[in-house]
Structure 1
Amino acid sequence: MLRLRSVLILSKLNTLQSKRFEALSSFNSFHHDSSNQSPFNVAIFWDLDNKPPNSFPPYDAAVRLKAVASTFGVVRYMVAYANRHAFSYVPSAVREQRKERKLLNHLENRGVVARVEPYLCRVCGRRFYNNEKLINHFEQIHEREQAKRLNQIESARGKRRVKLVGKFAMKMDKYRNAVRDVLTPKVGYGLGDELKRAGYWVRMVSDKPQAADTALRNHIVDMMDKRRVGCVVLVSDDSDFVDVLREAKLRCLKTVVVGDSNDGVLKRTADAGFSWKEVMLGKAKKEGASVVGRWKDRDILKRLEWTYNPEMEKKEHGLDGEVDFEIDDREIIEGAYGKDDNFMQEKDSCAWWELDSDLRSSKSH
């Protein structure tokens, strides 16, 4: 019985040790599997009130930002929040261009400057040698036609609405492509339209203080609650979003911040941070691959961490209630070699300094 118990103990210990060695030796296989895992669902949340693309064209900035976010996973959501003041902002470069255009129109009207090639209307094809005449033609004819088409679509319902959308689709696209070069926006410089053209969902909020921050924060929390994203890319330098980033990290989400503040609290809290200059120059996209590699290595090390829990080990390997580990080593030896080994113990019971001859002589007397 003792021999059976000892053999069972040794076999269980060997299985435990072999499984631990297998976990350590399979590090490379874990790393290979992690590279084939499905990528994160990435969501871009842009605080336009705090971080508008002042020094860069809005469309180019939006496209490059999406390219950087795509290195972390699949970009599923792109959201931008701002109030009307952010959309009415005009950069200094755009203001200078408008001043130059206004001066050139004045010189053309007075006949001081003559244009070699005429201005071409991209909707109807008419030609004008004066820019202001082209603008008046576009506003009086094509802009009114576009307004009529929109009114017809809005007033229609059901199948008629679908037919009208299909009927006016080509004309409306042609108008949108032409109006971008002819008409100067009265408010802003096309920030909302450019972001929409890049695929972003743009939302204008009220003019109340912190309205955009509150709406953006609630949107991020809602996405986390519904478990739709694995990586959050926040474009802001506002320290009010620190709690949201910390909450995202507690939920094991990856966090990336894009802003101009190099030593800000947001970048210290997030897993990675980039500046607008790095995004526009392509440096952030190159570093994105190394950031993802560090994330994967960190996840693998967490999975390989092992802590000894005796209760869990007994339950996993079926040792609970079957074998008592508090067995004397003497019982294991007796069970493994049998009771015949008692002779060796009796023979070695005398002191080591006593010689065999002395022992025999004492027994003879």
Structure 2
Amino acid sequence: MHIRRPKTLMPFWRLDAFSQFGQFVSFYSSNRPSSTVKNPQSTVGIFWDLENKPPNSVSPFEAGIRLKRAVSSFGVVRYMVAYANRHAFSYVPPVVKERRMERKVLNHMENKGMIKPVEPYVCRVCGRKFNANEKLINHFKIHEQEHQKRLNQIESAKGKKRVNLVGKYAMKMEKYENAARDILTPKMGYGLAEDLKRAGFWVKTVSDKPQAADVALRNHMVDLMDHRCIQCIVLISDDSDFVRVLQEARERCVKTVVVGDDVDGVLKRNADASFSWKEILIGKAKKEAVSVVSRWKDRDILKRLEWSYIPKEKIDGCDFEDFQMEDEQLEHSSGQDYIPLQTKDDKPWWEWDSDADVLLKFVVAFDMAVAVLLLALLNYHYHCKVSLHVK
């Protein structure tokens, strides 16, 4: 007696095969290289010529922080370099000199009792209050001596003891340094090197030879471009000696930005973008940097989409005999296998160039081969089962 099996939509062995095939296809489709690849952020370097462009209107620390904040719109700021000789670090801008003179006049009037401060002067280390600025300065010498003692203890200690002392005095030393910037007058210049280091700059003192800072700064930029460590250069200077570096950066497809006060300088004419110090300080440069980056992206896209054409001068210079020779060559080649879609370098249109396209082509071909093989196996098993069922 022959027992008929109940009819099902698909045998169990075919369901397993199709489920495995679906898992296989989904695995390769998920690992297939995508055509849209996100571009990483550009690496930005700030190169500051302190001999030519020191910060005059604001403190060096504030100038460095605002500069980094504005430049960060162009990408990730990885390099912050400043070069100058010892004379540049000892230089005091006229604005700072005027402030110091005004402070001296106020101190003299406070000592004579001619004026009184609206609020008492407070020591930010111990919290004591004084009714004159000079009294606060004289009191702060005590904290200066204490700070020097801590430094001597750390310098004389070694090994684990030195590490423990640094951890013990870290908070007190930081508190003293923050208070000393507002009370004590820097012995050299106006604290240019210290403030820039605090803002994150790598400050380098060069020799007193003429153009020593320019040469060192130029070599630093070229070295980073040689190693392909940078995609955007921000130069703070008005010195025309850096024109060749900007031109070389453009040849290497490195974006250039110049910050200076020269409105129509030669550096700004050779740079991709330019800002003044006033725009940096008021925050206008940070807003405009977004539109500058979008213009750069549009320009890069247009460069990729450019197609070559024959200039009009070349067409006008051609003779009729040249076109007649081309027609004869076409007629001669009409009897042969002519491939109109083939390019000038005899490369078929279906061949791809990049590695990602070759890998994608291989994966697609492999998927098709596996699919054909699975379908053939399924068809073979199905016919075997049908023949057995009929028998």
TM-score by structure 2 length? 0.67
AA paired with 1:311?
A: D
| Residue pairs, 1:277-296, within 5 angstroms | 277-296=278-297
Q: Which of 323, 345, 354 in structure 2 is aligned with 1:311?
A: 345
AA paired with 2:44?
A: V
CA distance 1:155–1:309, shift in 2 (3 Å): farther
CA distance 1:105–1:287, shift in 2 (3 Å): closer
Q: Which of 69, 84, 105 in structure 2 is aligned with 1:67?
A: 69
Structure 2 distance, partners of 1:150, 1:230, is 42
Instruction: Provide the residue aligned with 1:225 in structure 2.
Output: 226
Give SS of 1:125's match: coil
Instruction: Provide the residue aligned with 2:92 in structure 1.
Output: 90
Structure 2 distance, partners of 1:259, 1:312, is 52
Shift of 1:52: 1.2
Structure 2 distance, partners of 1:258, 1:297, is 23
| Residue pairs, 1:150-165, within 5 angstroms | 150-165=151-166
Structure 2 distance, partners of 1:119, 1:174, is 17
Q: Is residue 57 of structure 1 aligned with residue 91 of structure 2?
A: no
AA paired with 2:187?
A: K
| Residue pairs, 1:94-173, within 5 angstroms | 94-115=96-117, 117-139=119-141, 141-173=142-174
Structure 1 distance, partners of 2:246, 2:86, is 26
| Residue pairs, 1:30-49, within 5 angstroms | 36-49=38-51
Q: Which of 58, 79, 82 in structure 2 is aligned with 1:80?
A: 82
Shift of 1:186: 2.7
TM-score by structure 1 length? 0.72
Cα-to-partner distance string for 1:149-191 (whole Å, 9 max, x where unaligned)? 2233233333333222211110011001111121122322222
Structure 1 distance, partners of 2:176, 2:146, is 10
Shift of 1:116: 6.0
Deviates more, 1:250-259 or 1:293-302: 293-302
CA distance 1:315–1:116, shift in 2 (3 Å): closer
Cα-to-partner distance string for 1:27-46 (whole Å, 9 max, x where unaligned)? xx99xx58x42110101001
AA paired with 2:296?
A: W
Shift of 1:316: 6.7
AA paired with 1:76?
A: R
RCO (CA 8 Å, sep 6+): is it higher in 1 or 2? Answer: 1
Instruction: Provide the residue aligned with 1:214 in structure 2.
Output: 215
| Residue pairs, 1:160-309, within 5 angstroms | 160-306=161-307
| Aligned-residue RMSD, C-alpha | 2.5
Cα-to-partner distance string for 1:125-164 (whole Å, 9 max, x where unaligned)? 233333222212212x211221222233233333333222
Shift of 1:215: 1.4
CA distance 1:237–1:312, shift in 2 (3 Å): farther
Shift of 1:234: 0.5
Cα-to-partner distance string for 1:295-351 (whole Å, 9 max, x where unaligned)? 112222222335695226249749xxxxxxxxxxxxxxxxxxxxxxxxxxxxxxxxx
Structure 1 distance, partners of 2:255, 2:118, is 56
Shift of 1:59: 2.8
Structure 2 distance, partners of 1:296, 1:158, is 53
Cα-to-partner distance string for 1:22-81 (whole Å, 9 max, x where unaligned)? xxxxxxx99xx58x4211010100111111122233233222211221111111111111
AA paired with 2:120?
A: P
- Answer whether contact 2:56 2:95 (CA < 8 A) is retained: no
Structure 1 distance, partners of 2:94, 2:213, is 24
Give SS of 1:71's match: helix
| 5+ long unaligned stretches in structure 1 | 1-28, 319-365
Give SS of 1:122's match: coil
Structure 2 distance, partners of 1:314, 1:117, is 84
Structure 1 distance, partners of 2:118, 2:56, is 34
Shift of 1:259: 1.1
AA paired with 2:191?
A: G
Instruction: Provide the residue aligned with 1:21 in structure 2.
Output: none
Cα-to-partner distance string for 1:186-223 (whole Å, 9 max, x where unaligned)? 32222222222222222222222111111111211221
Structure 1 distance, partners of 2:156, 2:220, is 32
AA paired with 1:227?
A: R
